[in-house]
Amino acid sequence: MKRLTLAFSTVALIILASCGNKNEQQQMPPSGPPTVPVMTVEKTDALTYQTYAANLEGQQNVEIRPKVNGFIQKIYVDEGQMVKKGQLLFKLETAVLNQEANAGRAVVNAAQVEVDRLKPLVDRKIISEVVLETAKAKLAQAKSTFSSTQANIGYGTIVSPVDGVIGSIPYKEGSLASATSEMPLTTVSDTRNMRAYFSLNEKQLLQFNRNFAGANTAEKLKNVGEIELTLVDNSIYNQKGTIETINGSMNAATGSTEFRAKFANPEGLLRNGSSGEIRIPVMRKGIILIPQTAVFDVQGKQMVLKIGAENKVESALITIDGSDGDNFIVIDGLAEGNQIVTAGVTKLRPGTQVVPENTKTKEAAAATPADSTKTTK
């Protein structure tokens, strides 16, 4: 009986072990090279964009500075306020100037009295005409001093020279404002149209001149056409712009030349001092485009994974020259006919054997039934 029980136990253990092995075999992942998406490199024509960092300013940025020294008696505007040309901004205290004006008026009156007294004496030849001319000179000098004082009193009333938006106001009422102060009272920026300033280095400028035909700068800028502006949130500004001017010389200190573009600002979305990125459209012919997902960075250098012999991946150094938005433009390191991995490149190592799956072929195959259905209708 004990032998029979032992026999049954042994059989049960063998069956359980067999079932366990089957489950383990079912749970084990299939072995073999991984399947990876690839594309075959080919040349194409595409609309690409050259991008450059830009600083934005209003079409007019006027620093408001006092022409005379004085304490700020009243500030009539606030930061960010829209103002019109001629609108009152600041009033400086002019009590001292008023006193000087009163004294000057008295001097003018006294000089005029002296001239009036001397005229009949000269007519009767009682005194020399030189005495009268001297008195007249003193009267002219007194009038000039008085007029200058009056003008300085007028300078104490500060108005906006243009329509625009008030910038920062670093001063408070009661502060001393000086014509020689480093900081202006404020700035008034006309932001109805915005200017975008950006720079190209010597190599980029050379490429720019090659990309756009024209016998001179004006013709080249005309052929550029409309440009775009990328805002800090990576959205594209809803108004197109144009390049207005190019500086005629290179900056020796920076090795670059400055461009100025113009964008309308009807909604007031752009502000003085903002930043963005200029996008210049360039039609490129016979270029190689690859997905940005195919590129990875190694110590500041751009690399891709090519499919080599026996479907083993190998790394390749490439040179990128801009993009069309989703794809990089490759100018060196790849040739037509090369196959590259388009996704998951960070999970692979050089020498890994893979099963290439051409993404374009797969997409075309998936699209065929739909196309044929439309044709049969």
Fold that domain 66-90+159-183 belongs to in CATH: OB fold (Dihydrolipoamide Acetyltransferase, E2P) (2.40.50)
Tell me which H or E stretch contains 210: helix 202-211
Please state at what angle helix 129-155 crosses helix 95-123, rounded to 10 degrees: 160
**pLDDT at residue 361 tops 70:** no
The whole-number pLDDT of residue 103 equals 79
Asked if 164 contacts 189 with a C-beta cutoff of 8 angstroms, the reply is yes
| Average pLDDT taken over every residue of the chain | 84
Residues near 22 by beta carbon (within 8 Å), at least 6 away in sequence: none
Amino acid at 213: A
Residue 30 confidence class, pLDDT cut points 50, 70, 90: low
Looking at domain 50-59+189-284, which CATH architecture does it have? Answer: Beta Barrel (2.40)
The percent of residues in the chain predicted with pLDDT above 70, rounded, is 86
Q: Read off the pTM.
A: 0.64
Q: Name the 3-class secondary structure at 61.
A: strand
Query: Which of 3-17, 119-133, 324-338 is the least confident region?
Result: 3-17
Say how many CA atoms lie within 13 Å of 108 toward its Cβ: 16
Looking at domain 35-46+287-368, which CATH architecture does it have? Answer: Beta Barrel (2.40)
The pair of structure tokens assigned to 148 is 């200058």
Looking at domain 95-155, which CATH architecture does it have? Answer: Orthogonal Bundle (1.10)
Check for a shared fold between 35-46+287-368 and 66-90+159-183. no
Closest CA to 111 of 139, 87, 83: 139
**pLDDT at residue 77 tops 90:** yes
Residue 10 confidence class, pLDDT cut points 50, 70, 90: very low
Count CB neighbours of 13 within 10 A.
Answer: 10
Per-residue pLDDT tens digits for 314-331: 999 999 987 777 889 999
Domain edges within the chain: 35-46+287-368, 50-59+189-284, 66-90+159-183, 95-155
Residue 360 confidence class, pLDDT cut points 50, 70, 90: low
